[in-house]
């Protein structure tokens, strides 16, 4: 027996309404194809509202659409894309979620050990992770010459408030993807990722991007995007930088 979508807790999308209709319209295959191509998000995922409530921010549906689009193009590497999608969908098991399943566990953040460990806290408001983000932001500003806003919209969700040159956006996307991707590697640990780990992660992404562009005959795009990073990493001396490792 097929499930009756009409008994769900939300209105049917246009696609679902057409798919469950007893009578098919003329050129219905073309209609279905156009709907899929348009990628019309009539209902954005419920976890977007959870993020907004958690962080005390408000984003429009259009802004969430930009976030999803940017993340989908953030890397050709499926593992990195998976990491981004897991973060956005709140897949990682935070203390607040663990507590719902097992009330004998603590809801407190394992880093600061003082605040409730919600996803928003673990990724952004925790004082220890804030220190990490300050270092990352400082280095990205040095590398690109672009003053990144220190906000979760930008650093966690990669939503930029002003237009960026494509090459700059590509490089910042990679650097923020690396910074966010390292946070789960320290899950349930008291210390955040280090700058050395971030540098190594970005460098690994750079090597993968260089190989990909070489194979695809688009090496000039790689050079244009990554030249600021190459110059920085060549001259980088932690002892002479204001940002510690």
pLDDT for res 244: 46
Residue 205 is classified by DSSP as H
Sign of CA dihedral 152, 153, 158, 164: negative
pTM: 0.80
Distance CA 214, CA 85 (A): 27
Distance CA 29, CA 35 (A): 10
pLDDT for res 190: 95
pLDDT for res 79: 85
- Residue spans of alpha helices (H) in 20-126: 28-38, 46-55, 61-72, 78-88, 95-101, 119-120
pLDDT digit string, tens, across residues 44-55: 889 999 999 999
Distance CA 211, CA 121 (A): 37
- DSSP, collapsed to helix, strand or coil, labels residue 124 as helix
pLDDT for res 81: 86
Is 158 within 8 Å of 74 (Cβ atoms)? yes
Question: pLDDT below 70 — which residues of the chain?
Answer: 1-43, 238-245
pLDDT for res 42: 53
pLDDT for res 5: 42
- DSSP, collapsed to helix, strand or coil, labels residue 116 as strand
Closest CA to 205 of 114, 77, 13: 77
* Residues in the chain, overall count: 245
Distance CA 194, CA 136 (A): 10
**Which whole-number Å values give the CA distances from 240 to 3, 227, 243, in the listed order?**
64, 21, 9
Give the residues across from 116 on adjacent strands.
108
Residue 45 is classified by DSSP as -
Residue 182 tokens, joined: 């390292």
Q: Report the run of H or E that residue 221 belongs to, with start and end.
A: helix 219-235
pLDDT for res 8: 43
Sign of CA dihedral 40, 45, 48, 53: positive
């Amino acid at each position: 027996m097929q499930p009756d979508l009409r008994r769900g807790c939300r209105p049917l999308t246009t696609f679902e309404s057409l798919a469950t209709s007893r009578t098919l319209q003329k050129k219905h295959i073309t209609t279905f194809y156009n709907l899929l191509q348009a990628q019309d998000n009539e209902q954005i995922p419920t976890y977007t509202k959870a993020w907004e409530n958690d962080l005390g921010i408000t984003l429009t549906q259009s802004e969430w659409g930009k976030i999803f689009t940017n993340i989908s193009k953030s890397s050709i590497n499926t593992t990195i894309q998976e990491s981004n999608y897991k973060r956005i969908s709140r897949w990682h098991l935070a203390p607040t979620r663990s507590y719902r399943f097992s009330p004998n566990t603590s809801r407190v953040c394992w880093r600061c050990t003082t605040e409730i460990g919600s996803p928003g806290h673990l990724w952004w408001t925790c004082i220890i992770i804030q220190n990490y983000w300050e270092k990352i932001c400082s280095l990205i500003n040095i590398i690109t010459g672009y003053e990144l806003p220190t906000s979760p919209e930008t650093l966690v969700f990669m939503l930029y408030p002003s237009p960026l040159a494509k090459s700059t956006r590509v490089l910042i996307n990679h650097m923020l993807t690396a910074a966010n991707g390292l946070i789960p590697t320290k899950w349930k640990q008291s210390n955040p990722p280090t700058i050395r780990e971030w540098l190594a992660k970005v460098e690994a992404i750079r090597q993968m991007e260089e190989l990909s562009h070489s194979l695809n005959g688009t090496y000039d795009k790689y050079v244009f995007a990554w030249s600021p990073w190459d110059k920085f990493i060549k001259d980088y001396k932690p002892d002479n930088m204001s940002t510690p490792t």
